[in-house]
Amino acid sequence: MDEKVTREIFPRDSRKSYGLVELMKKTAPIVRKEPEDTVYVWPNLLMIEIICAILVTVGLMVLIQFEHAPLRSLADPSTTPNPMRAPWYFLGLQELLVYFDPWYAGVVLPGMIIVGLMLFPYLDVNPKGVGYYTYTERKFAVFNYSFGFAIWWITIIIGTYLRGLDWQWYWPWSNHLEHMNPALVTLIPLHLIFVNWFHVSEGVGKLFGDIIFIGYFALGTIIPMIVWKPMYKAMGLWRYLTFSFFFLSMMGVALKIVLRLLFNIKYVLVTPWINI
């Protein structure tokens, strides 16, 4: 029920027993529409469901005429296949291992995706756009979802089609049987670049990296607070901070992919315990 009862006629009282009827200031049981606008589930909806089920069954039957469930040779702990591919729906995560250490790509990031998804309804304060497809009324929310979904799919596609031996980058026209020379790509942590450019010590270089990392989150949180005040006001402090953390982390994944692919940067944040 999306409209609130303006005046409570019978205040709720736990000492009384109630029937299932609730009083609304409306003319019909279905708000805003006359009952005539409804149809019986039998046969209208059931028919649609049955047709869907038949179509899916036919689809599956057709599919398995062309493609069969794979079965390779018996499991053998002593021969590791190369490349070793996860099932396709996890290839996005496997591909992220190229850009992040395993504790982040394999554990923390998936956890954050799950928690972030669960929190989405609580972070999206825009009441518009329920019950119909719209982009214009909720551009930012749609952007966020699509961006995450796009990373997920693009990494799956890269993992499926563009990775070969040793998980190196292979174009469809490259020779997939020949090992790439790993020396072609040397990964460098960002702080060594600073060491080279500014002739500072490694410690100072690391400090630069840390400042960039923390600055990214700090500025990324504070600037929109000032520039898009109404948005911040609408969300409130905690909701905004939570959102900002997840948003910047997601953007961070994309940034790191670019840094790694274009500039061979290995880490931005370097600490004795964790590197990102």
Partner 1 sequence: MLQKIKNEIVESQIFKSVFRHGYPDNDLDRAYAIFSSVFLHVHPVKVRRSALRMRYTFCLGGITLFLFIVLSVTGIWLMFYYTPYTGLAYRNIKDLQFVIFGGNLMRDLHRFAAHGMVLFVWLHMTRVFLTGAYKAPREFNWIVGVVLLVNTLVLSWTGYLLPWDQLAYWAVTVGAKMASYTPLIGQNGPWGPQLGFLPTNDIMFMLLGGTVVGQNALIRFYVLHCVVLPLVVTVFLAVHFWRIRKDGFSGPL
Residue of the chain from 57, 160, 175, 196 that contacts partner 1 (CB under 8 A): 57
Residue 238 binds partner 1, judged by CB under 8 A = no
Residue of the chain from 46, 185, 219, 241 that contacts partner 1 (CB under 8 A): 46
Residue 147 binds partner 1, judged by CB under 8 A = no
Stretch that binds partner 1, among 82-90, 168-176, 194-202, 249-257 (CB under 8 A): 82-90
Residue (146 or 174) nearer to partner 1, CB: 146
6 contacts: CB under 8 Å, gap ≥ 6 = 25
Stretch that binds partner 1, among 34-42, 157-165, 180-188, 212-220 (CB under 8 A): 34-42
Residue 236 binds partner 1, judged by CB under 8 A = no
Residue 21 binds partner 1, judged by CB under 8 A = no
DSSP string, 227-267: HTHHHHHHH-HHHHHHHHHHHHHHHHHHHHHHHHHHH-B--
Contact 99, 109 (CB under 8 A): no
33 CB neighbour count, 10 Å cutoff: 10
Residue of the chain from 7, 8, 133, 177 that contacts partner 1 (CB under 8 A): 133
Residue 44 binds partner 1, judged by CB under 8 A = yes
Contact 79, 146 (CB under 8 A): no
* Structure-block tokens of residue 218: 């700090």
Residue 218 binds partner 1, judged by CB under 8 A = no
Residue of the chain from 129, 231, 242, 259 that contacts partner 1 (CB under 8 A): 129
Residue of the chain from 5, 28, 58, 63 that contacts partner 1 (CB under 8 A): 63
184 CB neighbour count, 10 Å cutoff: 8
Residue 127 binds partner 1, judged by CB under 8 A = yes
Q: Which residue has the tokens 């009384």?
A: 16
Residue (89 or 173) nearer to partner 1, CB: 89
Residue 69 binds partner 1, judged by CB under 8 A = yes
Question: What letter does residue 6 receive in the DSSP assignment?
Answer: S
Residue 38 binds partner 1, judged by CB under 8 A = yes
Q: Is 187 helix (H, G, I), strand (E, B) or coil?
A: coil
| Cα separations in angstroms, 244 against 86, 231, 241 | 31, 12, 5
Helix axes 237-263, 139-161, angle to 10 degrees: 30
